[in-house]
Structure 1
Amino acid sequence: MFRPLSLFIGLRYTRAKRRKSFISFFSLVSMIGLALGVLAMILVLSVMNGFQHEMRTRILGMVPHATLSAERPFSDWKSVAAKAIAQPHVLAAVPYTPLQGMLSQRGRMQPILVDGVDPQLERSVSIIGDRMVRGSLDDLKAGELGMIIGEITAHRFQIDIGDKVTLIVPEVTSAAGSITPRMRRFTIVGIFKVGAELDGSLGLINVADAALLKGWEPNLVQSVRLAVDDLFKAPEYSHQVAQALGNGYRAQDWTSTQGSLFQAMRMEKTMIGLLLLLIVAVAAFNIIATLIMVVADKKADIAILRTLGATPRQIMFVFMVQGTVIGVVGTAVGTVLGVISALNISTWISALEALAGHKLFGSDMYFISNLPSDLQVEDVILICSAALCMSFLATLYPAWRASQTEPAEALRYD
């Protein structure tokens, strides 16, 4: 079978045992370094993708994608919701009255965000119905002053279903600069767990009870909560809905409350990717040192090939093939190990936690209570392409040096 001369000799040099064992060792080190760099990039970026996915599904599954509000509380929220749902990309619209206050029980206090919701409609815009560990969303009945809290809050206050808590909400009075607290006793009717920081900072009550706490009529709401089909286009979609409703309505989306967190995560992924890429670059450019030593070791062979008629271009391709093989093998091994690690890291961490008897990622300390992984084909292709490109570029200078070898000079002392 016909094979180009440069490819044939380059592959022979790669397979053949060299007289200088340290050159073979250096080639192996280059392969291992490249494989570890690719492995690290795939694994770390997959974990960061997993964190972003969990944050989107958990945190953005609980907080509003967008809200529509007016200057004053309104009672015709059903007509507003109907007009909103008529707009493209809006999946659901429900009544929503958010509150900020303090939760108090037996001398303990903590700040809390309280969402006034309609328990019958809330499942269409939130994952809370699937995250209940005790009680039910349907237990939030109007006028009964029931509250659903997160598992971390329940643990802090050492309370359970049926216990009483006091919700303190500030109210600005007509007197200039005067704030009067409104206090109501609520009964815990449910406990949820999403495995994120919201377990310790969010509570839910009936939207009618939220109006009562604010001193409004029971049928008044502060805003309408929207669910859209594309989270990252929520600002655009909510603005379009507000424009369709006319003057007097304004839109607010999740980027104003949670946007900085996701921007920070995106920036962190980019910076960590660049730092890990430097590790791959160091491993790839070790190929330069390896090939320079190979060229020095093969000067006599190069001279003989030149005298037999090999052109400088063919000599250059010989060592480019050899260096590229090192890069391809290192990248392939790293990719296989990286994909296997990314697909199994969550299981391995769970096994390690079970073996150690200690939770490494507690939801009371971290936003996410486990180590998720989301392997994306685009990341793998980008990492492999970068590693192969750097490996190829690293072969150019040593291969060019080999092509400049003068036969007479190389054979003078042989």
Structure 2
Amino acid sequence: MFKPLECWIGLRYTGARRRNHFISFISLSSIIGIMLGVTALIVVLSVMNGFERELRERILGMISHATVSAWGEPMEDWQAVREAVLSHPRVEGAAPFVEGEAMITRGGEVSGVLVQGVVPALEGEVSEVAHQLVEGRLDDLRPGEFGIVLGSELARTLGVRGGDRVTIVAPEARVSVAGITPRLRRFTVVGVFEVGMYQYDKGIALVHMEDAARLFRAGEGASGIRVRFDELLAAPRLATEVAEMLPGVYSVRDWTRHHENFFRAVQTEKTVMFVILTLIVAVAAFNIVSTLVMVVRDKQADIAILRTLGLSPGSVMGVFIIQGTIIGVVGTALGVAGGIALALNVENIVPAIEQLLQVEFLPADVYYISDLPSDLDWGDVGRITGLALVLSFLATLYPAWRGARTAPAEALRYE
């Protein structure tokens, strides 16, 4: 599209020292604006990716990649279903569970809780909760001993620690000669876990699966089976494959459906931030319009002479397109370099700033994620780079077209 002559003149105009310092200032401000906009886009999206990764890992520390359950009834043949699930080549683990809502009390403290009955020997195949314990061990949950592992916030609310006893109140009442009475069961605290998500640390308690089955009268059945695949992001597709191969009709829900609204909100927030920060790049890119319009006016005599020497209007457009594109390329390159450098080191830079200013941006007693995580996505870097270059190129078209329409006779009349 561009011939050597247009490239040479465009490069010469870009590198030449202009008589009009205001034009040079606007060119520099355009480069700096594009650089800052691109840097901000890369850093902000990397930090948001980091927060999403942290939240996803903490959520998946308590839930599995997928859950198989019967339709509104206990899964009596869970052993056969588990064997069928494990026969899938990409399933790494499967564990049964019994689940039910209840009230937990100690003294005058009462709190709602989701009681999950697990098999300690199998739970490690599908979740990371065994590695999240700050007190006790998951293996301390033994059938018939009615031990319980509480979330850290729940334990703090109830004021309990290892060895203390709590009371679980099941929602189903018991009918006896004394009338209708709630079903109660005393449990001994054998451990405390801390995932870092308030809804889990405050609202979940783990017991042995057999004890949960007795509490909720589930008999020999299970509420379902948790499944772990070899690839997290492939869970939606693999869950469908597992559902098709099961011996019967079961509901199979992957982790994205369990927290669909949450992750959709995170994705929407990322999209909104991308659009907002793109406007910064757009404003800086369209400063190129002002720069080139003034350059065209400043170089009218040069354009007229080149036209009289035989340079075509298309070639004149090429000269100014190249000049404006160089500004965009330089600004984008500097912004990408700065953005990558900051995104890769933000976890070290923020603590240094906090220490220097004696402030704490994310207090640990307020935020569960007290560090500023960053996860640089090279796909985001590529999209941001392409967007900045496209905007810079589009900004050159109108001034270049105006320059190509310069009439040589009119431009040279007063020279």
Same fold (TM over 0.5): yes
Residue aligning to 2:27: 27
- Taking structure 1 as reference, are residues 208 and 172 closer, same or farther at Cα in structure 2, changes over 3 Å only? same
Residue aligning to 2:291: 290
Whole-angstrom CA distance in 2 between matches of 1:172 and 1:278? 60
Whole-angstrom CA distance in 2 between matches of 1:202 and 1:404? 72
Residue aligning to 1:55: 55
Q: CA deviation at 1:141?
A: 1.6
Q: CA deviation at 1:66?
A: 2.3
Q: Report Cα offsets for 1:114-159 as digits up to 9, x if no partner.
A: 2211111111100112222222111112222222222233333343
Q: Could you tell me whether the CA contact under 8 Å between 2:99 and 2:117 is conserved in 1?
A: yes
**Structure 1 residue 196 and structure 2 residue 193: aligned?**
no
Q: CA deviation at 1:11?
A: 1.3
Q: Report Cα offsets for 1:56-75 as digits up to 9, x if no partner.
A: 22202321322223354345
Residue aligning to 1:206: 208
- Taking structure 1 as reference, are residues 239 and 381 closer, same or farther at Cα in structure 2, changes over 3 Å only? closer
Q: Could you tell me whether the CA contact under 8 Å between 2:61 and 2:195 is conserved in 1?
A: no
The secondary structure found in structure 2 opposite 1:309 is coil
Q: How does 1:152-231 map to 2 (within 5 A)?
A: 152-171=153-172, 181-197=182-198, 198-217=200-219, 219-231=220-232
Whole-angstrom CA distance in 1 between matches of 2:106 and 2:396? 70
Residue aligning to 1:125: 126
Q: CA deviation at 1:401?
A: 0.9
**Structure 1 residue 371 and structure 2 residue 372: aligned?**
yes
The secondary structure found in structure 2 opposite 1:98 is strand
Q: CA deviation at 1:234?
A: 3.5
Q: Could you tell me whether the CA contact under 8 Å between 2:173 and 2:183 is conserved in 1?
A: no
The secondary structure found in structure 2 opposite 1:22 is helix
- Taking structure 1 as reference, are residues 201 and 359 closer, same or farther at Cα in structure 2, changes over 3 Å only? farther
Q: Could you tell me whether the CA contact under 8 Å between 1:170 and 1:179 is conserved in 2?
A: no
Whole-angstrom CA distance in 2 between matches of 1:379 and 1:242? 34
Q: CA deviation at 1:301?
A: 1.9
Number of equivalences:
409
Q: CA deviation at 1:243?
A: 4.1
Residue aligning to 1:108: 109
Q: CA deviation at 1:180?
A: 6.0
Whole-angstrom CA distance in 2 between matches of 1:48 and 1:125? 26
The secondary structure found in structure 2 opposite 1:260 is helix
Whole-angstrom CA distance in 1 between matches of 2:133 and 2:348? 24
Q: CA deviation at 1:365?
A: 5.1
Q: How does 1:257-406 map to 2 (within 5 A)?
A: 257-353=258-354, 360-361=361-362, 366=367, 368-406=369-407
Q: CA deviation at 1:280?
A: 1.1
Q: Which amino acid aligns with 1:314?
A: S
Which segment is superposed worse, 161-170 or 347-356? Answer: 347-356
TM-score by length of 1: 0.90
Q: CA deviation at 1:262?
A: 0.9
Whole-angstrom CA distance in 1 between matches of 2:315 and 2:373? 49
- Taking structure 1 as reference, are residues 80 and 362 closer, same or farther at Cα in structure 2, changes over 3 Å only? farther
Instruction: Give the gaps of 5 or more residues in structure 2.
Output: none
Whole-angstrom CA distance in 1 between matches of 2:313 and 2:152? 72
Which segment is superposed worse, 119-128 or 158-167? Answer: 158-167
Q: Report Cα offsets for 1:29-88 as digits up to 9, x if no partner.
A: 111111111111111111121122222222023213222233543454322211111124
Q: How does 1:93-104 map to 2 (within 5 A)?
A: 93-104=94-105
TM-score by length of 2: 0.90
The secondary structure found in structure 1 opposite 2:394 is helix
- Taking structure 1 as reference, are residues 245 and 320 closer, same or farther at Cα in structure 2, changes over 3 Å only? closer
Q: CA deviation at 1:113?
A: 2.0
Q: Could you tell me whether the CA contact under 8 Å between 1:151 and 1:191 is conserved in 2?
A: yes
Whole-angstrom CA distance in 1 between matches of 2:355 and 2:122? 39
- Taking structure 1 as reference, are residues 36 and 159 closer, same or farther at Cα in structure 2, changes over 3 Å only? same
Q: CA deviation at 1:373?
A: 1.0
Residue aligning to 1:41: 41
The secondary structure found in structure 1 opposite 2:310 is coil
Q: Could you tell me whether the CA contact under 8 Å between 1:114 and 1:202 is conserved in 2?
A: yes
Q: Could you tell me whether the CA contact under 8 Å between 1:195 and 1:369 is conserved in 2?
A: no
The secondary structure found in structure 2 opposite 1:284 is helix
Whole-angstrom CA distance in 1 between matches of 2:284 and 2:194? 44
Q: Could you tell me whether the CA contact under 8 Å between 1:285 and 1:394 is conserved in 2?
A: yes
Residue aligning to 1:246: 247
The secondary structure found in structure 2 opposite 1:147 is strand
Q: Which amino acid aligns with 1:411?
A: L
Residue aligning to 1:12: 12
Which segment is superposed worse, 205-214 or 361-370? Answer: 361-370
Q: Could you tell me whether the CA contact under 8 Å between 1:102 and 1:168 is conserved in 2?
A: yes
After superposition, the CA RMSD in angstroms is 2.6
Whole-angstrom CA distance in 2 between matches of 1:354 and 1:149? 35
Whole-angstrom CA distance in 2 between matches of 1:149 and 1:21? 69
Q: Could you tell me whether the CA contact under 8 Å between 2:38 and 2:384 is conserved in 1?
A: yes
The secondary structure found in structure 2 opposite 1:62 is coil
The secondary structure found in structure 1 opposite 2:414 is coil
Which segment is superposed worse, 284-293 or 257-266? Answer: 257-266
Whole-angstrom CA distance in 1 between matches of 2:252 and 2:367? 30
Whole-angstrom CA distance in 2 between matches of 1:360 and 1:139? 39
The secondary structure found in structure 2 opposite 1:410 is helix
- Taking structure 1 as reference, are residues 39 and 349 closer, same or farther at Cα in structure 2, changes over 3 Å only? same
Which segment is superposed worse, 403-412 or 283-292? Answer: 403-412
